[in-house]
Amino acid sequence: MPIRTILRFPDARLQKPAAPVERFDADLAALATDLLDTMRAAPGIGITAPHIGVLQRLTVIELDAASGVRTYVNPRIIRSSTETISHVEGSVSMPGITEDVVRPRAIRVRYQTLSGDTLEEDADGLLCICLQHEIDQLDGTFWLQRLSRLKRDRAIKRFARQEKAG
C-alpha cells in the first residue's frame, strides 16, 4: 500500500475532530494498511487517519515488533486512573520536537476492530500514553495543547527554526 503524505503542524486539519467510522469494509482495511506503512516510514509508533488528512476515527499503533500492530476504530477512553505519569511525546506531524506530557497512568478503552466488533482493553505504560495521545488527535486535540503555554511556545519556535533550516 502507498505511503501517504503526513500533514505538518500547523495544518488546521490537525485540530478538527474526526468523524466516527461507519463502514467496516475493504476501504477501511486499506486505510489501516496505508497508516501502518506511513507510520513505519515516518518513523513513529502511532498514527491516526487525521495525520494523513482523512478525518475518520482510526488509529494504528506499533510500539515494537514483539507487541505487534494494534488497530483501533472509533476508540474512546471510558475510564482513567487518577494517578498520573509524565512521558516524552512528539508527533509525526511535528518531527524532531518532543516534550514531557502528563497523562493518567492507566486507562480503559472501548473501540471497534476493522470488522466492526466492539472490544474493551485496559492499558498502562507506553501503550496507555500512546492511546491517549492518538485519541486526543482523533478528538482534534493536538499534543501541544497538553503543554503549558511556555512549553508550547518554545516547542513551536523550535519547530519553526528546524523547518526554516530544513
Active site residue 120: no
Choose, from 83, 99, 134, 163, the residue flagged as catalytic.
134
If we measure between CA atoms, which residue out of 140, 130, 139 comes closest to residue 47?
130
What single-letter amino acid sits at 109? V
Q: What is the DSSP letter of 137?
A: H
Give the cell for residue 162: 528546524
8-41 per-residue burial string, b: 16 or more CB within 10 A, e: under 16: ebeeeebbeebeebeebeeebeebbbbbbbbbee
> What residues act catalytically?
134
